[in-house]
Chains A and B, each alone.
Chain A
Amino acid sequence: MDPVSHELPPVEATKGERLLGALSMVGLGLLALIVTVTVVSRWVGRSIIPDDVLLVQELMVAVILLPLGLVTAARQHISVEVFTARVSPRTLAVLSALGHGLGLLFALLLLAAGAKGFLGAWKTQDYYNGVLHIPMWIGQAVFVFAMVLFALRLAIMIVHDLRRLGAGKA
């Protein structure tokens, strides 16, 4: 038997979540390239990427939010452990479920907020002032998509936590 573990083991991420993580990495590379090409081309003559700042903003939404499932499955969200360093595995599972439950609530609120933002952007069909007229709803849609998957992952984590609770009982 393991001694009292201070951390629950990570859960394996789904293929889809790994794919989203990969997309986030590609987005980061793209983001770095857009800025670098802008700088270099500005040196040489004229800036060749239109709306570079706006494109980076859009990419940021994907880069930041798509890996949420990966991070959550790996239990990489930081928490304060000092006060609960010596609790039993059962209690640990309960606390983990509590944490994921609050996370789920937060994700659902963000989802609702994002959906509201998306609907507003869709209704007005407004865009970012610039050359490309990038529609505002695109980034909002990515936000909503990321929050749906985040909420699902958190719900799955609660199931995992409760299963551990059951196992700890046995």
Chain B
Amino acid sequence: MDPLLLAAVAIGAVLVLLALRVPIAFCLGTVSALGLITFFSWRPGGAFDLERGIEPALTLIGSAAYSFVHSYPLSMIPLFIGLGHVAYHGGITTDLYRALRIWLGRLPGGLAMASVMGCAGFSAITGSSVACAAAMGRITVPEMLRYNYSPRLASGAVAAGGTLGSLIPPSLLFVIYAIFTEQSVKVLFLAGILPGILSLAGYLITIAVWTWRRPEDAPKPDTTFTPGDVREAVAGTWPTVVLLAVVIGGIYLGVFTPTEAAAVSFVIAVILGFARGRLTMASLVEAARDTVVQTTMIFLIALGAKVFTTFVSLTRVTPAVLDWLQSVDAPTVMVVAGLVVFYLVLGMFLDSIGILVLTLPFTVPLVTGYGLDLVWFGVIVIKLLEIGLITPPIGLNVFVIKSVTPSSVTLGQIFRGVSWFLLLDGVVLLLLLAVPALSLFIPGTVD
């Protein structure tokens, strides 16, 4: 069977099954596993020969799945998710959010602004956007709903805010990008800071415009605060500052690697929680249970996506698309535009890590061939992958927000809420594309 046709059939089958409510992990995993068996059993021009195909297919499924879970760097994911839950149960994140809420609560849409600011703060102590969305989502969304914010604004703001997790260092995606392009992790981390702040500004503007157009979506809370409240709230943020110093300081000063930062900050958060009397054995167990359940759920999806990515890679759909891009023989602007569209489309369906692994071997030579900067391109790709986390039909951040908020909030509502934020993300993306200095300025000051 022609590999490109096989890939097209598989992608079609995935879309149909997704629409039929088949869990994403099962859908991607089963279709791609069957796709792999077909690929190896039914070679172009030959007859279907299962006996010949089953062995390589099973080996490939096994190696893709097993090496994905049997991974040291990816232990960052449960650890940073765990940090989020422990910070939540230990009151660390609540304190941060409370302080931000007191500072910003009086503004129109202040609770939503406090939420995305909280996301930005939490991004600096987590390496994964999904972990970021999960941790902030479960605190801020119920809080906003309690103050009668519209579910769309409440969930959309945090789903979008969560995407700061990979742009603002530490960032698992930058680490993977660094490995593939042999760029310095530190330089990439530094490069992500300004674009992260810019994205944050975009989200704040979105909220301001939203609440200006539809004030009923964000009723002003009727609570007032005394200067004493404010002082107390500020004082309550010190654990966040400590964790931030451990993670960011530790990584920047090179005291430890991002994975080590994840483990150390997780352990510190547990110790702080007990020391401050905010964490009990029971709540630690609850945090741990939430962590492993969520980690498993996310890893299963990512694992399905990994098998799918392997299948797609084998069928050579990616180079076919890239060949076509190259055959147009377009000027740089066109190539960059093509790459942007390419990553946006992939981001609609595939998981971020899978996309990186699948595309970088092909796009990096294209990018360097056109004399473009790989650090800058890294920032662009990560931003595009972040956008992919909130675009339908498969938006991992949206699903995570869904999983940690009351079931009355529907996926449709979250996607609709996110669409406002996507608009400003587009503007930020254009700025990053047009002005490489936004990405390269900070790393330039350090070297």
Contact-size category for A: 35 or more
A6 to B411, CA, bound (A): 11
Which residues from chain A contact B260 at a C-beta distance below 8 Å?
35-36, 38-39
Report if A4 contacts B (CB, 8 A). no
Which residues from chain B contact A83 at a C-beta distance below 8 Å?
19-21
**Min C-beta distance of B396 to chain A, whole Å:** 8
**Min C-beta distance of A165 to chain B, whole Å:** 15
Report if B402 contacts A (CB, 8 A). yes
A109 to B53, CA, bound (A): 14
B residues 236-273 touching A (CB-CB < 8 Å): 255-256, 259-260, 262-264, 266-267
A100 to B26, CA, bound (A): 8
Report if A155 contacts B (CB, 8 A). no
Report if A116 contacts B (CB, 8 A). yes
CB < 8 Å: which of B34, B296, B407 contacts A67?
Answer: B296
Report if B327 contacts A (CB, 8 A). no
Q: Which of B67-75, B183-191, B206-214, B329-337 contacts A (4 or more CB under 8 A)?
A: B67-75
Which residues from chain A contact B30 at a C-beta distance below 8 Å?
102-103, 105-106, 109
Task: Judge whether B69 and A106 touch: CB under 8 Å.
Answer: no
Main secondary structure of the interface of B (DSSP, over half): helix
Interface string of B292-303 (1 = CB under 8 A from A): 110111011100
Task: Judge whether A67 and B26 touch: CB under 8 Å.
Answer: no
A residues 63-90 touching B (CB-CB < 8 Å): 63-68, 70-71, 74, 76-85
A residues 82-137 touching B (CB-CB < 8 Å): 82-85, 92, 95-96, 98-100, 102-103, 105-106, 109-110, 112-114, 116-117
Given that A98-B22, A103-B26 are known contacts, is A80 also in contact with B411, CB under 8 Å in the complex?
A: yes
Given that A60-B74, A106-B29, A113-B61 are known contacts, is A81 also in contact with B21, CB under 8 Å in the complex?
A: yes
**Min C-beta distance of A60 to chain B, whole Å:** 5
Which residues from chain A contact B165 at a C-beta distance below 8 Å?
none
Given that A79-B21, A80-B19 are known contacts, is A36 also in contact with B264, CB under 8 Å in the complex?
A: yes
**Min C-beta distance of A157 to chain B, whole Å:** 11
Report if B291 contacts A (CB, 8 A). yes
Given that A79-B23, A80-B19, A80-B394 are known contacts, is A57 also in contact with B292, CB under 8 Å in the complex?
A: no
Q: Which residue of B lies closest to A78 (CB)?
A: B399
CB < 8 Å: which of A64, A80, A85, A105 contacts B78?
Answer: A64
Task: Judge whether B61 and A77 touch: CB under 8 Å.
Answer: no
Task: Judge whether B72 and A56 touch: CB under 8 Å.
Answer: yes
A80 to B17, CA, bound (A): 9
Task: Judge whether B403 and A79 touch: CB under 8 Å.
Answer: no
Which residues from chain A contact B289 at a C-beta distance below 8 Å?
21, 25
30 contacts between A and B (CB under 8 A): A21-B289, A21-B293, A25-B285, A25-B292, A28-B291, A31-B78, A33-B267, A34-B263, A35-B264, A39-B256, A43-B255, A63-B292, A68-B300, A70-B296, A71-B293, A76-B297, A79-B18, A79-B21, A82-B410, A82-B415, A85-B410, A92-B21, A99-B23, A102-B30, A105-B34, A110-B33, A113-B59, A113-B62, A113-B66, A143-B65
Question: B-contacting residues of A (Cβ < 8 Å)?
Answer: 6-7, 21, 24-25, 28-29, 31-36, 38-39, 43, 53, 56-61, 63-68, 70-71, 74, 76-85, 92, 95-96, 98-100, 102-103, 105-106, 109-110, 112-114, 116-117, 139-140, 143
